Amino acid sequence: MADKVYANAAAALEGLTVDGITVMAGGFGLCGIPEKLIAALRDSGAKDLTCISNNAGVDDFGLGLLLRTRQIKKMISSYVGENKEFERQYLGGELELEFNPQGTLAERCRAGGAGIPGFYTKTGVGTLVAEGKEHKEFGGETYILETGLVADVALVKAWKADPYGNLVYRKTAQNFNSVMATAGKVTIAEVEELVGPGELDPDRIDTPGIFVQRLIVGQGYEKRIEQRTVREAA
Amino acid sequence: MPWTRDQMAERAAKELQDGFYVNLGIGMPTLVANHIGEDIDVTLQSENGMLGMGPFPTEDEVDADLINAGKQTITELKRTSYFSSADSFGMIRGGHIDLSVLGAMEVAENGDIANWMIPGKMVKGMGGAMDLVAGVKRIIVLMDHTNKAGESKFLKACSLPLTGKNVVDMIVSDLGVFRRLDHDSPFQLIELAPGVTEEEVRSKTEAHYEVAL
């Protein structure tokens, strides 16, 4: 069996970081982002990247790191409100931006990974999102055609993996990760813990290993929190 | 006296029914969770991949892997399930969510809503709002009746880019409640905040509506 486990994030990216590639990155806000792989992608210096990710990180963490260094040419996202550098580059015309409704973005990745080139959805009908897209009626309702997305490289974050690339996520840190894992020509997963063969319950695998080509164990996860909201202990 | 934000949320919460699956938008709509009647059982969905959202954590319970769609730390309940973003929007788009309460910049008399973009200013993105208005069975808008300039936010036609066309079922503003029976019917003013008159509502509303107080 091909060994999927790499020594570190830089090694896992080797041979893939060509200028102009399309990269998917999982996560919602800063929750469940592949923080080690994003940092290594920055260090690789690859530029003119198209990044598909629900959000764009914050100024000094997540994909915000790649914006700072001007490595991103285009973002496909649903919400980018937390990033001032993004705003500056976008308003200055230095960065292309394609907004997708969040569910459309998730389904585009799911479809791409499942070999489905397009699908019809009622999300966005009658809005800017529908402009230039094919419209079609089903049962008296109007739908628009959206296309599947595939990335040259998909970067995902999971909780645990085994050496075969089977992945398990934790709580809401799953979000886009399991969907994007299916849609990378090469998918690299970073995990908090690598367990031995047979130690993951086969009935409880979120991402089967066939979708994962490379794997690293990240050290010292920062897991930054954007909105720490608490209540008084009873 | 017009309703406060909390009173508006309290009024919207009366629309929740026993057994409902509900998605609350970011901002004022999250206040609705504080007013869910103790006699009804409601499951809150968070579109980042969770059904059965619990209250904010205590300091000891904070978990970076457990947030809501507003990126706030939250907790799980005994009923909680987690899933991918694709499954989450399958629930939303597929019509499995009973009710969503959302904020808005503008609502039109034909049920159009605009709540994601102001051209020329920074555009943050629509997030899940377009999916919610397209797929959820019933859409309630919670918004101030007028903008900061005192102009009506309930209009003949939206001037801002739309989030969805003909999707709003009810508006709860600080002045009262508008409802329509279906997407072919006009909005009706069905309730006034205490001390607010129909004349005041009329003077602050551009949209056409019927009165059914």
From the first residue on, what is the mean pLDDT of each consecutive set of 10 residues in chain B (213 residues)? 96 97 94 94 98 95 96 96 98 98 98 92 89 98 96 98 98 98 97 97 98 96
pLDDT classification of A233: cutoffs 50, 70, 90 = confident
The confidence score (pLDDT) of residue A83 equals: 82
Distance from CA of B198 to the nearest CA of A (A): 33
The confidence score (pLDDT) of residue A84 equals: 81
For position B125, which CATH number holds? 3.40.1080.10
The confidence score (pLDDT) of residue B122 equals: 66
Distance from CA of B212 to the nearest CA of A (A): 30
Please, which contacts does A197-204 make with residues 24 or more away whose CB atoms are closer than 8 Å?
A: A197/A162, A197/A163, A197/A164, A198/A162, A199/A162, A200/A160, A200/A161, A200/A162, A200/A166, A200/A168, A204/A168
How far, in Å, CA of B139 to CA of B132, rounded? 8
The confidence score (pLDDT) of residue B119 equals: 86
Can you point out the beta strands (E) in B83-200?
A: 99-102, 106-108, 113-114, 138-142, 154-155, 170-172, 176-179, 188-192
Give buried/exposed letters for B160-197 (b at 16+ CB in 10 A, else e): bbbbbbebbbbbbbbbbbbbbeeeeeebbbbebbeebe
A56, A64 Cβ separation under 8 angstroms: yes
Q: Work out how many CB contacts closer than 8 A connect A with B.
A: 178
How many C-beta atoms lie closer than 10 Å to residue A157's C-beta?
Answer: 32
- What percent of chain A has a predicted confidence (pLDDT) above 90? 90
Does residue A234 surpass a pLDDT of 80?
no
Does residue A11 surpass a pLDDT of 70?
yes
First CA to last CA across chain A, in angstroms?
53
Length of chain A in terms of residues written: 234
Q: Mutation test of the interface with chain B: which of A58, A83, A102, A174, choosing the one with the most B Cβ atoms within 10 A?
A: A102
Length of chain B in terms of residues written: 213
Q: What are phi and psi of A87, to 5 degrees?
A: -55, -45
Q: Which of B15, B47, B106, B109 is catalytic?
A: B47
Does residue A99 surpass a pLDDT of 80?
yes
B45, B22 Cβ separation under 8 angstroms: yes
The confidence score (pLDDT) of residue A85 equals: 84
pLDDT classification of A1: cutoffs 50, 70, 90 = low
Domain A2-117+148-217 has CATH 2.40.40.20: no
pLDDT classification of A81: cutoffs 50, 70, 90 = confident
B134, B167 Cβ separation under 8 angstroms: yes
CB contacts, 8 Å: B62 with chain A: 225, 228, 230
Closest listed residue to residue A126, CA positions, set B188, B84, B167: B167
The confidence score (pLDDT) of residue A82 equals: 76
Q: What are phi and psi of B90, to 5 degrees?
A: -65, -40
- What percent of chain B has a predicted confidence (pLDDT) above 90? 95
Closest listed residue to residue A174, CA positions, set B53, B78, B67, B25: B67
Please, where are the H alpha helices in A9-75? 9-13, 35-44, 64-68
CB contacts, 8 Å: A122 with chain B: 93, 134-135
Read off the pLDDT of each residue in A158-174 and give the average, rounded to a whole number: 98
- What percent of chain A has a predicted confidence (pLDDT) above 70? 99
Rounded to 10°, the helix A102-113/B85-93 angle is: 120
User: Residue A173 and residue B65: Cβ atoms within 8 Å?
Assistant: yes
Read off the pLDDT of each residue in A44-50 and give the average, rounded to a whole number: 98
- Looking at the structure of chain B, the number of domains it has is 1
User: Residue B124 and residue A129: Cβ atoms within 8 Å?
Assistant: no
Q: How would you class B61 by CB atoms within 10 Å of its CB: exposed for 0-12, middle for 13-18, buried for 19 or more?
A: middle
The confidence score (pLDDT) of residue B1 equals: 87
The confidence score (pLDDT) of residue A75 equals: 96
Q: Report strand pairing: A151-161 vs A22-25.
A: parallel
Residue A117: DSSP 8-state: -
Q: Mutation test of the interface with chain A: which of B130, B137, B166, choosing the one with the most A Cβ atoms within 10 A?
A: B130
The confidence score (pLDDT) of residue B121 equals: 78
How far, in Å, CA of A78 to CA of A113, rounded? 19
Does residue A171 surpass a pLDDT of 70?
yes
Answer yes or no: B47 catalytic. Answer: yes
**Residue labelled with tokens 């970076």:** B64
Does residue A132 surpass a pLDDT of 70?
yes
Mean pLDDT of chain A: 96
The confidence score (pLDDT) of residue A170 equals: 98
CB contacts, 8 Å: B164 with chain A: 125-127
Domain residue ranges of chain A, discontinuous segments joined by +:
2-117+148-217
